[in-house]
Each structure stands twice: as C-alpha cells, then as structure tokens.
Chains A and B, each alone.
Chain A
C-alpha cells in the first residue's frame, strides 16, 4: 500500500566493494531506499557528504534524485541530517555502513537527536495508519514483530527480503541535487587512529603459564583440526567422528 501523504526519507551513504574497495551504493542503504519506495511514491533520498559518482547508483536503484548535503571531510553527518529530516514521518537507513567507521550507531544518534523511536534489524515494514509495524531479524530463523508510532527511525537488516533492481535508464534520468547546508557540522576530534588492516587481530588470551613441552603439545592439539580424513572403521564410528568434530568445535551443544 502506498502512503503518499507521508514524508519519508531514505539516508544513503557511499559504500565500498569488499574485494576492490571501489565506491558503490551501500547494499544496506539500497535496501532502505527500496523499502522506502515501496511505501511512498516520493521519497527524499539524502546523502551527507560529497557528490560522489557512486551516488548515481542510487538513481539506478530508483531514487528520482539524491539530495547531497555538503559536509566537510571527516565531519559528523548527524547535525545536517537531523536538521534536514526534522518533521519527517519515517526515516529509513541501512543498519551499518560499508565504508567509513560502519559502527551502526547513526540511526540511534539520529533518533535521539529527533526524539524518535528507533528500530534496527528491520526486514519488513508495514504502515498501519500512524503506526509502523516492523518485522525484525533474530538469528536462527526467529522473527520479532514490533510496532512503534510515527515518526520513527528504522534501520534495515542486510537480509531484508527485497530485490532492488539496478536500472540504467533511471540512472540516466535522475539527478544529484546539492542542497544548502542548514547547519554547520562540527569537526570532531577523532580518538581513533586507523591503519591498513594487514595483520590479523590478536585474540585476548590468559598469560601463558605452561612450560616448553606442554606448550608444544597445546599448539599441536589446537592446530590438528583441519583436513582430517577418516577412512577406517564402521559406519557408527564414522558417525561418531562427525559428532565429535561438531562437539569439539562447539557447533552442537550435546
């Protein structure tokens, strides 16, 4: 059902292909855009940042235009976005960004700034008058149904069952619009230092107390997991080998 009278915004960011690092439309944000377009024919598609070429992809995915709110590099997108979507009924975004920090906190911060409820891990969104019903993702095939009243912020889960289509003709027809900055975004002092991720992160472990031989044995015991081949034995023994593997690796709990 379409709700043309509602003001719906989809927040989109510049994503990043995991193999090449190439900028692209972020997958989760595409889902948010697609979900928004299923609710209303007109959706404000907003991006805080540069008018990056990758934003054209959102046009291909159905945005009539993408409104770009200027943002100095490194600045926090919250203030300009919050100022822009004040007064909207529904604000959709992806649960976690692909590029940048990808902390998944923006929807929460936005909701707090606008004093709206926020629901994340959304798979399906249904409007029931001024109430919105959300089917939320839970692992192991569980789904939770949650209702909040509008206005609300909703963050889409990557497994949302939507099939957005990339359509070149729409890319050709749509436009990026640059919007005037409503408020200046503060440049936060980042407490983080980033480096290229080359080394594997280290697991937090208790200090090693075992001595030489025991340590060696320990190393062998933990490394001998991969590529084992069980040829001999009865079918029952083979079945037990499988169960044992599953238990050893805590894949089943009995």
Chain B
C-alpha cells in the first residue's frame, strides 16, 4: 500500500495567484503548459475596497515611473501606505512620469500623474514645487517614497530639508506610527515615531493585498518653479553587455562547461543581462579578465545570477555571496553550485541555452527587456 501511494510532484505545474500563492494545476501531470502562464485561466475575484466612505485624512506616496510603470519598490511604498492607513485615510499617489498600470491592487485611492517627469528627467526644483503643492493640498500625515536611485531618494530628502521636517531614510521596518532603520552600517537598529517623510528600503511591505484601492484620478499639481539652478544635459546609456559587473542586476556567467560563447551571449542579450565568467573560462581566453567573477575577480551583487557550466568552486562562490537568486545549468547534479543555487537545471548547457533562446523568441519580449539589451 505504502508503495502504491502517489507522491505529489513538488514541481508540478502551477500558476501564481494574485495573493502570491502557488496553485497546482490539477490534472496536469508534468511539464509546464506555457499558455497557462501567459494567459491565466482564472479571473481574479473583485476585492473589497479598503477606504470606508469619504476620506478624513491622507497619506501621500510619490514615486518616479519608468517607461510608464512603477517598479516593485514603488508598489511597496503604495502598499505600505495602504496597510498603514486608517479606514478613513485615503492613499494619494503622485506619479512622476507617465503611468500605464492600474495601482488599485496596491491600494492607491487617488492617483495623479505628471507624464513629462519620469526618472529620466532631472528638475529637482520643479518636482519639489509639485510635491510641495500636494503636501499643501492634502496635508498628508506622512509622505512615503521609495528610497531608490531613480530620483525618489533624492527628491524625498530635498522635500524633508525644504520643509524642515523630520525624515526617516532607508526604513527597513514599518509599523503603525513607528519606523525602524539600520544605523552603524547595519549593526544597530534605530526605532522611533514615524516622521513626516518616510523613505523606505526595498521589501519592507507585502504588495499582495486582500483589499483594493479606489483608484480615482485626480488633477496633478500645477505649480511652476522659477528657472532652476540645475541643467539636465541628457542621458548616456551603457549596453548591458558592457556594464561593469559590479553594477549589473542580472548576470549570465559562463564556465568551463560552455563551449559556445555566442549562444551564451545571445541568452544574456535576451535577458538584458551582463556577461561574466569563471576563472577557467577566462584563462582559456574566452573572456577578458574584467569578466572574471570570484575571489580573484569581481565581487558582484546581481539579483539574478545564471551560472552556466560552472562547477561552483569556493573561490568562485566568494564572488557571488551577495547574489539573491542563483540559477545553475550544469550537466552534473552533484556539482557544488547546486548547493548554492536556488534552482539547478541538470542538463547540457548548449541544449538548455538553445531551448531558452527558443522559448524567449516565442514570447513577445516587452519593451523593458528589449530596450535594456
């Protein structure tokens, strides 16, 4: 009997519910059905509104959009405000830059958009004037902004200093009325009452909420700042493949198990990833030395590290200590890298890379992935 018992395959196909839950797809026995992932077969049930009645107060969230979207960090700022707001407090979101997404799922009640002011612009005085106008208009109890490098961290500090207000930066923990942040480079945690301006670190709030925001559009601020002291001379872009590895957020790295470098580079290009290598691959002349990752090479901190044909020697792992998600493609299931990796695919590098390229070609790459190539 015991032998008869069917075990559930932990890697059975599933879809991800809006609440972040995995849903095993019943009936499917193995492998993935791409169509299920591309177009979920279910309709999300409408969620209840969080805000009860007319607002009696406000929390303000401000963030820059990128190509019409707010990033996860900004979503967390909105969700944090929504989770902290009282049932009578409305969450006002001021978006610098255009917006092509629905922010209700993150709890936005009122949304104002400034289409011309995305993260690529730099006009701190004008943006500060707009933000101040909203602070005056809504008199928010708190202003939440993601403490990021695309302009919100900068603007948030300018706001606090301009208003002469208390500010909490790099906030890692939020509770009703209270914040906590690291001091002493992470050795101490400082707690205090929530100040007016709250600049939050990534991942401080859950974004899958059991409620929804009202999502009404409101008029953006209209203040005009006098001609400013800052002159924006435009952008320069570095191709992902040429990006310094220390800076890259997605790295595809090749080891001794990769023979076909062009395919690997194509995979990296498809992901908009930078290319790195193990020492052996560098020694063989397949890559220049500045691509080497590890004890004697670069120390990287990409969120995603795809290690192709890399055994995972300690000296190599030393260089990827800070990487959040490590994925390995290796023909040897017992290679040390599989202990470090969050996902290991056992197989021939060449075959899996080609399959990846084929899969990626089938999907229409959205602008985000393509443009950063």
Contact = CB atoms under 8 A, between A and B. Distances in A.
Contacts of A146: 122, 230-233
A143 interface: yes
Interface in A236-252: 236-252
B149 A138 contact: yes
Decide if the interface of chain B is mainly helix, strand, loop or mixed. Answer: mixed
A59 to B, nearest CB: 23
Contacts of B238: 141-143
Interface string A102-131: 111100110010000101110000000000
Contact of B206 (A203, A221, A238): A203
A133 to B, nearest CB: 7
Interface residues of B, number: 113
Contacts of A191: 166, 192-193, 195
A240 B184 contact: no
B191 to A, nearest CB: 5
Given A236-B355, A239-B358, A254-B369, A229 B210 contact: no
Contact of A193 (B122, B175, B190, B236): B190
B368 A196 contact: no
Given A239-B352, A251-B304, A101 B190 contact: yes
Interface stretch (A34-42, A64-72, A204-212): A204-212
B53 interface: no
A213 B60 CA distance: 37
Given A16-B185, A194-B183, A204-B80, A147 B237 contact: no
A228 B83 CA distance: 33
A180 interface: no
A212 to B, nearest CB: 15
B153 A104 contact: yes
B188 A197 contact: yes
B281 interface: no
Interface in A190-230: 191-197, 199, 201-206, 209, 217-218, 221-222, 224-230
A250 B208 CA distance: 13
A147 B329 CA distance: 46
A121 B72 CA distance: 21
A178 interface: no
A204 B175 contact: yes
B102 interface: no
B129 interface: no
B137 interface: no
A49 to B, nearest CB: 15
Interface of A: 15-16, 18, 21, 98-105, 108-109, 112, 117, 119-121, 133, 135-149, 159, 191-197, 199, 201-206, 209, 217-218, 221-222, 224-254
Given A147-B231, A203-B203, 13 more contacts: A108-B158, A141-B240, A142-B238, A146-B232, A196-B187, A199-B189, A206-B210, A228-B11, A229-B338, A238-B329, A241-B343, A243-B359, A254-B366
Interface of B: 10-11, 16, 20-22, 30-32, 34, 37, 72, 79-80, 83-84, 119-120, 122, 148-150, 153-154, 157-158, 160-162, 166-170, 172-175, 180-193, 195, 203-206, 209-211, 229-240, 242-244, 246-250, 271, 303-304, 306, 325, 327, 329, 333, 338-339, 341-348, 351-352, 354-356, 358-360, 363-366, 368-369, 372
7 contacts: A143-B236, A144-B234, A146-B232, A204-B174, A209-B210, A235-B347, A244-B37
